[in-house]
Structure formats: structure tokens, C-alpha cells
Amino acid sequence: GMPEPPAPVLAPRRRSRKIHVGSVAVGGDAPVSVQSMCTTKTTDIGATLQQIAELTAAGCDIVRVAVPSQDDADALPAIASRSPLPIVADIHFQPRYVFQAIDAGCAGVRVNPGNIRKFDDKVGEIARAASDAGVALRIGVNAGSLDRRLLEKYGRATPEAMVESAVWEASLFEDVGFHDFAISVKHHDPVVMIQTYRLLAERGDWPLHLGVTEAGPAFQGTIKSSVAFGVLLAEGIGDTIRVSLSAPPIEEVRVGLQVLESLNLRQRRLEIVSCPSCGRAQVDVYTLAEQVTEGLQGLKVPLRVAVMGCVVNGPGEARDADLGVASGNGKGQIFVKGKVVRTVPESEIVPTLLSEANRLAEGMAPS
Ligand code: SF4
């Protein structure tokens, strides 16, 4: 059939330079990527690879692991060589782990200049090692660990202070001819975070890694991150994102993908169009929508499934979707590609939708 027209987006992407984190391009015209971070001990190689496999299946693009000790650094070669996703080693305090991570075959290293003593003196050596190995860096400035000099100058982690820190460190790398890095300037307050990234975006063409740090438990963290990312991405700012939740990392990936899909920055996979239900609902919409979502979780094709509680908007939305149900009187009218294919009792709605969805999916290319 005819190719679908491209989905509308809110703003052109800010022009950033493109870097490569292993096989994943970040910046330039590369799609905005989704990152997460393992919660396993890096020394537990099996558990870490298992979590990475789950993150891969959920659609994660890049994964970070913590390197707080020598034993963690020693685990990096096994993880980097067996991970299907590019590995970024997260380094604070100990510059020697930066070199170990590079030697271990990590695709990227995150350095926090505020947490590495005399970081500036080591920039040349780090840049040389990264450049020789084709490893990308992230200069990860964080409100909670801002460079002391800037904390003294500004009194606290203001947008200006964080941007000054990031721009200074970036200039040190650029002065030695190294350009393969992204920057993040994370703050826990979405308003300050937005101001900081806006300011940084004007100062150079670095690819930007977005994050609201310590965003909190799943509900609060999802909203804080989504609001902040939404504002920036709607202005074209942001090349890769990490949602930080006090929840399993797979949730971070789901939220991140959903944010990008909501802004048409990523092709939708499964989309459930379901009504909030109201006094008119003639079936249990919540349960139906949940069961359909659950049953279609692994689907890799862009499928729109409408689950509607009554005939007010039901037939319209169901007809518009690839697949849908409009309920009434304890029955469901099942729509496929705009046509009613049959009417089933309430208990048959979910199984019918799932089997129709799988049948449709077989005929579609994965997104
Ligand atoms: Fe209410 Fe029907 Fe609209 Fe659902 S589709 S919210 S049940 S009017």
C-alpha cells in the first residue's frame, strides 16, 4: 500500500554534532535514543547480563553500569564483550577506572568532573585513550556533585553554574582535539533542569543527554521526567534520554520510549487507544485495556488498538484504529481495519482482540 506520511513533530531538532556510542549514533540526525542503567552489582556478571537482556527486549538503546570498585572495573571486559547493547561505564572519583573501561571495550564512559580530583589535569590522557579506542565520553555534570570552584562562585547549582562547569570541561577536551562526547547537566528540579539545558543548548553543538536526576519513585519520577523532557524535546533539544526512577530500569525504558512516541520522535509500537470510561460504560474498560496491553506487550509492530466502553465514541475510534472493540450491552463489536468483523460476548473480547492482533502483526513489518 501507500507509505504512511511522516508523523508531525513540534520543532526541528537542534543541530548537534553526531557521535557514536558503539553501534548507536547520538546527535545529528540520529533518532533520539533511550538509555538506562543497571541496578545489579557490576561484579555479578550473570545478573548484569540478564538485566541487559531484559532492557534490550524492552527497547533500550544504550546501557550504563556503575564502576565503584576495582572488582567492578575487572568485570567490564566480560560484560562489554557479551552485551548486545553498547555499555557505558559510569566513573566517579577514580580516574584509573576510566582507562580500564576504555581497555575493557566499553562503548562509552561517563565522567563526572565534579567528582574526580584534579580532573582537568587528566583530560589530555583521557582524550587520547578514548580517541585511540573509538570510545565516546559523556561529561556528566550533576547538581549534587558540582565542581567546588563553581559552587563557591555561585553559591549553589544554578543553571549558570552547571553550564559553566560543562562548557569549561568541554573546552578542555576540545582544546586537545577531542570532540566525541555528549554532555548532561542534571538537576532534580525540572524547572531548573529545563533552564540549564536551554542555556547549554545555546552555547555549543554538543549532543545532549537529558535527565532529571533523582526524579523519585515511579509515579513522581515518570511525571517529572516526562514534563521536563517534553518541554525540551518539543523545542528540539535532546539527543538521548535517561529517565531516572527509583524503580526497575525496565520501567525507565518504557517511560522513555513512551515519551518519544508521544512526540512522534519514535515510531509507535503498540498504541492502546482506550477511553477513561464513565457512567455510560457498559463493560469494565480498565480491565479490558490492561489485559489487552499485557497480552500484546511483546508485539514489535506499530499497531493501534482501540478499547472503548460504549457506543458514544467507540465505533469511531475502533474504526480508525487497526483493531478495536466498541462495547455495548455486555457485548463487543470487533473492528479490524475499519470493518466490524464480528460481535462477541464480553468474556471473548480480550482473546478475540489478541488473536486478531497477532494475525495482523504477522502481515506487518517490525518497526
Ligand atoms: Fe464514557 Fe463511552 Fe466515552 Fe468510554 S467511550 S468515556 S464509556 S462515553
| Among protein residues, the one whose CA lies closest to atom 2 of ligand 1 | 310
How high is the ipTM of this complex? Answer: 0.97
Q: Which one-letter amino acid corresponds to residue 192?
A: V
pTM of the model: 0.88
CA 277 to ligand 1 center in whole angstroms: 5
CA 280 to ligand 1 center in whole angstroms: 6
Longest dimension (CA), the chain: 74
Q: Is the CB of residue 85 below 6 angstroms from any atom belonging to ligand 1?
A: no
Spatial separation of the C-alpha atoms in residues 312 and 302, rounded to whole Å: 26
Q: Is the CB of residue 312 below 6 angstroms from any atom belonging to ligand 1?
A: yes
First to last CA, the chain: 16
Spatial separation of the C-alpha atoms in residues 253 and 238, rounded to whole Å: 16
Confidence (pLDDT) at 1: 44
Confidence (pLDDT) at 366: 60
Spatial separation of the C-alpha atoms in residues 120 and 173, rounded to whole Å: 9
> Which of 274, 308, 329 is the best mutation target for the ligand 1 pocket, counting ligand atoms within 8 Å of the beta carbon and taking the most?
308
The minimum-distance atom of ligand 1 relative to the CA of 308 is: 5
Spatial separation of the C-alpha atoms in residues 101 and 49, rounded to whole Å: 17
**Beta strand spans in 270-338 (E):** 270-274, 303-308, 323-328, 331-336
* pLDDT in 10s for each residue of the chain, 367 residues: 455 667 899 999 999 999 999 999 999 999 999 999 999 999 999 999 999 999 998 999 999 999 999 999 999 999 999 999 999 999 988 889 999 999 999 999 999 888 777 878 899 999 999 999 999 999 999 998 898 899 999 999 999 999 999 999 999 999 999 999 999 999 999 999 999 999 999 999 999 999 999 888 999 999 999 999 999 999 999 999 999 999 999 999 999 999 999 999 998 888 899 998 888 888 888 999 999 999 998 787 889 999 988 888 878 888 889 999 998 888 899 999 999 999 999 999 999 999 999 999 888 766 5
Residues 6+ apart with CB under 8 A from 63: 35, 36, 37, 38, 52, 55, 83, 85, 86, 87, 88
Confidence (pLDDT) at 311: 81
Q: Is the CB of residue 310 below 6 angstroms from any atom belonging to ligand 1?
A: yes
Q: Is the CB of residue 314 below 6 angstroms from any atom belonging to ligand 1?
A: yes
CA 281 to ligand 1 center in whole angstroms: 6
Confidence (pLDDT) at 80: 97
Spatial separation of the C-alpha atoms in residues 178 and 20, rounded to whole Å: 13
